Structure 1
Amino acid sequence: MFTRIFGKPKQETNAVSTLDKLNETLEMLEKKEKVLQKKASAEVEKAKEFTKGKNKRAAIQCLKRKRLYEQQIEQLGNFQLRIHDQMIMLEAAKATTETVDALRTGAAAMKSMQKETNIDDVDKTMDEINEQTENMKQIQEALATPIGAAADFDEDELEAELEELESFELEEELLQPATAAPAAPVHVPTPAARQPVRPAPQKRTAEEEIADLQAELAL
């Protein structure tokens, strides 16, 4: 439907060239309007001069020509208004065509993507991901399962042994004294109270004892 209304991309190019042509025509009409305005102003000045010279007939002719110029100026103004209206319509149609073309391109891209990836492919991919996840979970559980001698250990016995160790450590903590007994004070005598130190008797040798015994026998 949009193709019938706005035409094909080739017609869009024609619309651009038409806008350029309308712009050129509008500039030409504006130039003619300025020229006619100058001529109308000139006729007014002439009419003033003829009025000063008491030439009423010539002054009226100038005013008639001024009216003709003003009619042409008004006609050119209407032409410019028509061209502006046509340019606005063409620009709106061009913008609409570009919008429709962009939407058509987006729809085609989405359709192509849907062909490449349909719902069945998505479901299949999700199933594969779930299967791989489950396999990985089973592998991790298998690796975490103890084997060999470790698998023969009784968990209940290990827990009972652990509780016994914890009770033993608690008893040792309770039996330890809270603080160490204070050491007995050491009494240091003052210099005045010190007693004279007697020399320790020297130990006599065996020869000296025999000599003393012989002396006693001689007596």
Structure 2
Amino acid sequence: MPLKLFGKAQKAPSAQDSIRKLQETLEMLEKREDYLQKKVNKELEIAKKNAVSNKRTAMMALKRKKTYEGQIDKLSGARLTIEQQLMTIEGAHVSLEAMNAMRMGARTMKTIHNHMTVDQVDDTMDEIREQMEVAAEINDAISQPLGGELYDESELEDQLAELEEEVLKENRQEVPVNKAAEPKDVLPDFPDVPNNKLSEEEQELAALQAEMGMTF
């Protein structure tokens, strides 16, 4: 049912409009969470700095930090709800587009088949097969030699034997003389140089240990 505002019906938003609005809202919530997280980090630094020298200031900072964290939790819940809505709308929109495409395809196929029946296809295929047989017969007739054989089979066999003998003779003359294999230079083995470079994991571990040492 269309929504009414001051007596006028409101047009239902399209799927694209709803998706765009939800995406904009998600972006706004993410920016707000980033801002509040920076506030949380700042209050935590204040609390650490005054934990010994000014406990009252440190306690106030922790209270503000707790308040900011509560706001972040609420924003996270809202983000989760909007993300679920966005995925649902996007999925429904994709399904609708797919259905519209399939419906259009069905109408197109129906239009095409109105101009083509199974009997017409069978008749056309019979005509194609018949014409292919005619073409094959024509090709066979054209390929038949005129005036008998164009060559003497025994003469060709004699020429082939002469060529074979000539090739074998040339191959015997071109056989190279095997030379003694020359010794290859062998490089002396050198001892392995120790690798003093730390691996990436060892560097990260050293950095963490150094940071923990500074913290404590």
TM-score bracket, normalised by the shorter chain, equals 0.3 to 0.5
Higher helix share: 1
Larger Rg: 1
- TM-score for the superposition, normalised by structure 1: 0.47
- TM-score for the superposition, normalised by structure 2: 0.48
